[in-house]
Amino acid sequence: MAIPKNTLFLIDGMAIAYRAHFAFIKNPRVTSYGLETSAVYGFINSVFEILSKEAPSHIAVVFDTNKPTFRHEMFEAYKGQREEMPEGLRKALPFIRKCIEAMNIPVITLDGFEADDIIGTLAHKAVEHDFQVFMMTPDKDFGQLVRENVYIYKPARLGNDIEVLGVQDILEKWEIERIDQVTDILGLWGDAVDNIPGVPGVGEKTAKSLIKTYGTVENILQNVHQLKGKQKENFENFADQAILSKKLATIPTDVPIEFDEVSLRVELPDAQKLGDLFKELEFRTLYKRMFGDSQSTGVDSLQASSKNNNANNIGLFSTEEHIVSAEQSYKTAENTPHSYHLVDTNKKIEELLDLLSKSEVYCFDTETDGLDALLCNIVGMSFCTEPTVAYYLPLSENREEVVSILNQFKPIFSDTSKTLIGQNCKYDLHVLDNYGIEVENILFDTMLAHYLLEPDMRHNMDYLAETYLGYQPISITTLIGKKGKDQASMRDISVKLACEYASEDADITFQLYEVFKPMLAEFGVEKLFNEVEMPLVTVLQSMEKEGISLDTKALAEYSKLLEEESLIIEKEIYKLAGFKFNVNSPKQLGEVLFNVLKLDPKAKKTKTGQYKTDEEVLQLLAIEHSIAAKVIDFRQIQKLKSTYIDALPLLINPNTGRIHTSYNQAVAATGRLSSNNPNLQNIPIRTERGKEVRKAFIKKNEDYTLLSADYSQIELRIISEISGETQMLADFKAGLDIHTATASKVYGIPVEEVTSDMRRNAKMVNFGIIYGISAFGLSQRLGVPRGEAAKLIEQYFATYPSIKTYMDKTINEAKDKGYVETLLGRRRYLRDINSGNATVRGFAERNAINAPIQGSAADMIKLAMIRIHKSMTDAKLQSKMLLQVHDELVFDAKLDELDQLKAIIKDGMENALPMSVPILVEMGTGDCWLDAH
């Protein structure tokens, strides 16, 4: 909807803040110093969108105060059951206020009244002054305030566009004849969030039906004799409560506040204050949108909005000076002296080689025509040996010419005394390897250095440059455009532009090296960096290059089988439902399960009004209703088919005919490796259907077999080592089955009398303790009463007291230091460990217990990979290490090297991280991964 001139936007501050906070709840935004900024970012983005797209002439943000309102006087329990504000949001609110004030947007509050009341009053007064008013809120209660020229403006969410609701929209939405009937429905319905009681047994649907028949709450009470059964009884017994609820739900429009047109005009923001705040909050993208270069669409739209507004509105950015001054807050290539050189002659190549030969440390970066390191071609390479000075060597499309030039650099790359600095070195190693160049330098990866320093933060170069150098690099999109079919290649841009961009990459990475190198020592992770993470880079590069064979024929056949099975299950679902519908549509499925079949009268809905049909909901329904079990089965087949069975063949490299997964060292904060294309960690192995995926990963040829080597119960062995729990250590040293031994002690019976259920319970406690499981969590997993689960945990700690001591000690140390460490000193920062919010603090405490264990296991297998790779290389074996998944390594083992390889693997894994507890490695072989595991 186009917003006309002379308009007022009234923003429901707290509602938009809550909405912004929860929009990022699964992936919260956190600054490098631990401040959660999700709410601030979402809030300011929403305001920015209004100002730039809608160009209002007047605006205000309205907040509640912490003082009681007239509703509390009317009903003491009003909002009495409201949950405590999330801590992240509470800490964000002052910054939201600061940003609003820096944008020179008025903030309105009034003790004794809520934001709804102030907005309602100002909206209705503004209309009398010939304004059109838009109340920006997701709150349904505002429907009662809508009238001619007063609208609800619901911000965009979850991919849906903004929604503007006028009188007719509200009448249709609420199924009423008059706007004031919204309060009648709200009064009957009640509000659990605000603790408005309503009338028992009356929900939204019943409330609408009653108001459609009787018009008002008062009229229902006058005609209560027409009602029947329990409903009649409820209205007779709760008549006063119905009237009270309607009063509580009514938003007054006569609050003692004046409509001051002048004070609400959109004003020019304080660019300096706002820019400083955005830098403090690390809002780099938002900063660029508001203060970026003159070609920025955000600035253009803001300037356009200034021109389009009426004479009273001076707009957001009326002069170029404000953009320039804000820009200068960051250093850039435009405002920072530098010396970048184009190496485009043989003489210049010789000079560069001479410089590099004399340098002990140099930064190196490649520019390519694609992102797939195994398929792309090199376009150029840049070097840097000191800050602000860099060199770019463009390379032609002729492979022979490129190889000839690269061969001149072989002595540099093969010098084992030199240090090569890079940002994500593994990619550049792959690119050089594609041309027959092997890098033997000492490696220093700035991405991995920062990963050890701040494992929970982002590690891309732009973020690092802005955070640690106050420098904003040239955006790649300014050179080749945004992602998509029209995006250009580095090969397409001028050599001059490429030189500036690529040289800057090398220069900035070199400067980051100078920042991070001393920090590694200061933070105590220098040894971990030099002896684990950096040596692992070449190991992973070798594994990625090798890849693994895939049985595409078997996958194609299995895909057909799953398709047939899926169709059969789909027909069974239709039969149980009584008609056809789209099973893949959560909305349609919810309607079938809860409106048609009425499987759960208390079914929960999502914030968008749809019924919840996630796996948790379906699992509970499946206990009694077969249709839910069928839907779970159907979804599992669909996911397995689309994610793996049909997707894996598309990932085969056309040059090698093999799958080449890509390993990520800087993703999981625990230190674990992750992978993508494909994601090996998520391949399902517990179901019969899922196992077929592992069956598709096959040996190289008839001269090879696949070998799988897996650590046995490694995390339990590590916790026994870290905690010094003598009883558990003794059991491991005696070679006992740890779960049976634990069950024997916890239940106080001989080992031979332990039943399979007892062992299962002990196993759940053993692994659950590592993740800080509660009595409630254990009871849910075991399907036993909470009291029985609590008793199990109590007996467990009585059996292994040192583990309880370890847990308590670790949490207390984390509260003092703010982090925990693995056996090798890998840190996990726990910024919420002293949180006032019990839920948030509990999550941090569980991480405190688990991180040293899981992180030590991650360090151990990384060390094992490094040892094994070196031993295999020294022995000149043709066998190859292929995959790493959780605690498992997979190899293409040449049959005539099998015994030698097994000995290398056993030694490498068992002695990777020497401990007093014995480390057990289980190995198996087979034609496919499933058989080997």
pLDDT for residue 796 is more than 90: no
Which residue from 573, 756, 552 is spatially nearest to 654, judged by alpha carbons? 552
Question: Which of the four pLDDT bands, split at 50, 70 and 90, describes residue 28?
Answer: confident
Dump pLDDT digits (tens) for 401-414: 999 999 999 999 99
Lowest mean pLDDT among 208-217, 765-774, 825-834: 765-774
User: What integer pLDDT is reported at residue 71 of this predicted model?
Assistant: 77
Question: Which of the four pLDDT bands, split at 50, 70 and 90, describes residue 874?
Answer: very high
Q: Are 275 and 329 in contact (CB under 8 A)?
A: yes
> What is the arithmetic mean of pLDDT over 173-196?
84
pLDDT for residue 302 is more than 60: no
In terms of phi and psi (left: phi > 0; alpha: psi -120 to 50; beta: otherwise), the region of 390 is beta
Q: Are 21 and 42 in contact (CB under 8 A)?
A: yes
Which residue from 266, 265, 10 is spatially nearest to 136, judged by alpha carbons? 10
Number of Cβ within a 10 Å radius of residue 628: 24
Question: Which of the four pLDDT bands, split at 50, 70 and 90, describes residue 607?
Answer: low
pLDDT for residue 781 is more than 90: no
Question: Which of the four pLDDT bands, split at 50, 70 and 90, describes residue 384?
Answer: very high
pLDDT for residue 323 is more than 90: no
User: What integer pLDDT is reported at residue 476 of this predicted model?
Assistant: 78
> What is the arithmetic mean of pLDDT over 650-666?
94
Question: Which of the four pLDDT bands, split at 50, 70 and 90, describes residue 762?
Answer: confident
Question: Which of the four pLDDT bands, split at 50, 70 and 90, describes residue 314?
Answer: very low
User: What integer pLDDT is reported at residue 307 of this predicted model?
Assistant: 35
Query: Amino acid identity of 153?
Result: Y
User: What integer pLDDT is reported at residue 486 of this predicted model?
Assistant: 67
**What is the rounded distance in angstroms from the CA atom of residue 762 to the CA atom of residue 114?**
53
Which residue from 440, 445, 457, 434 is spatially nearest to 365, judged by alpha carbons? 445
Q: Please tell me the chain's helix, strand, coil percentages from 3-state DSSP, rounded to the nearest 5.
A: 55, 15, 35
pLDDT for residue 324 is more than 50: no
Cβ-defined contacts of 642-648 (< 8 Å, 24+): 644/678, 644/683, 644/693, 645/555, 645/558, 645/559, 645/562, 645/692, 645/693, 646/555, 646/559, 647/678, 648/550, 648/555, 648/678, 648/693, 648/696
User: What integer pLDDT is reported at residue 83 of this predicted model?
Assistant: 61
Q: Which two tokens stand for residue 879?
A: 């066998």
Task: Work out the percent of the chain whose per-residue pLDDT is above 90.
Answer: 54
Strands lying side by side in the sheet with 132-136: 107-108, 58-62, 7-12, 132-136, 150-154, 163-165
- SS3 letters for 850-869? HHHHHHHHHHHHHHHHHHHH
Q: Are 671 and 664 in contact (CB under 8 A)?
A: no
Evaluate the omega torsion of the peptide bond into residue 678 and state whether it is cis, within 30 degrees of 0: yes
> What is the arithmetic mean of pLDDT over 298-317?
36
| Half-sphere exposure of residue 766: CA atoms within 13 angstroms, side-chain side | 24
pLDDT for residue 647 is more than 70: yes
Question: Which of the four pLDDT bands, split at 50, 70 and 90, describes residue 869?
Answer: very high
> What is the arithmetic mean of pLDDT over 827-833?
87
User: What integer pLDDT is reported at residue 544 of this predicted model?
Assistant: 97
> What is the arithmetic mean of pLDDT over 619-642?
89
Lowest mean pLDDT among 34-38, 359-363, 451-455, 874-878: 34-38
pLDDT for residue 88 is more than 80: yes
Q: What angle do CA 346, 351, 357 make, to 5 degrees?
A: 125
Dump pLDDT digits (tens) for 240-258: 888 888 888 889 888 899 9
pTM: 0.70
Task: Work out the percent of the chain whose per-residue pLDDT is above 70.
Answer: 92
What is the SS3 assignment for 326? Answer: helix
Q: Strand runs (DSSP E) across 605-694, as ranges?
A: 662-664, 674-676
User: What integer pLDDT is reported at residue 484 of this predicted model?
Assistant: 66
Lowest mean pLDDT among 200-204, 364-368, 710-714: 200-204
| φ and ψ of 539, to 5 deg | -65, -45
Beta partners for residue 331, in sequence order: 471
Query: Amino acid identity of 780?
Result: Q
**What is the rounded distance in angstroms from the CA atom of residue 524 to the CA atom of residue 533?**
14
Q: Which two tokens stand for residue 331?
A: 């250093």
> What is the arithmetic mean of pLDDT over 76-91?
71
Q: Strand runs (DSSP E) across 6-81, as ranges?
A: 7-12, 58-62
Find where tokens 């009648």 sit.
184
Question: Which of the four pLDDT bands, split at 50, 70 and 90, describes residue 622?
Answer: confident
User: What integer pLDDT is reported at residue 80 of this predicted model?
Assistant: 57
What does the buried/exposed string (b/e) look like for 30-55 if buried means 16 or more CB atoms within 10 Å of the residue's CB? bebeebbbbbbbbbbbbbbebbbebb
What is the SS3 assignment for 339? Answer: strand
Cα of first residue to Cα of last residue in the chain, in angstroms, is 59
Which residue from 622, 626, 613, 577 is spatially nearest to 597, judged by alpha carbons? 577
**What is the rounded distance in angstroms from the CA atom of residue 124 to the CA atom of residue 402?**
72
User: What integer pLDDT is reported at residue 483 of this predicted model?
Assistant: 67
Find where tokens 């789209």 sit.
582
**What is the rounded distance in angstroms from the CA atom of residue 205 to the CA atom of residue 189?**
9
For residue 672, give every residue at least 6 positions away whose Cβ sits within 8 Å of its Cβ, in sequence order, or none.
854, 858, 886
**Helices within 677-785 (DSSP H only):** 688-695, 714-723, 726-733, 738-747, 756-770, 775-782
pLDDT for residue 289 is more than 70: no
Residue bearing the bigger pLDDT, 229 or 525: 525
Q: Are 37 and 31 in contact (CB under 8 A)?
A: yes
Residue bearing the bigger pLDDT, 328 or 720: 720
Rounded to the nearest angstrom, the gap between the alpha carbon of residue 483 and the centroid of all alpha carbons in its chain is: 21
Question: Which of the four pLDDT bands, split at 50, 70 and 90, describes residue 163?
Answer: confident
User: What integer pLDDT is reported at residue 79 of this predicted model?
Assistant: 61
Q: How many residues in the chain?
A: 933
DSSP state at residue 340: E
DSSP state at residue 26: T
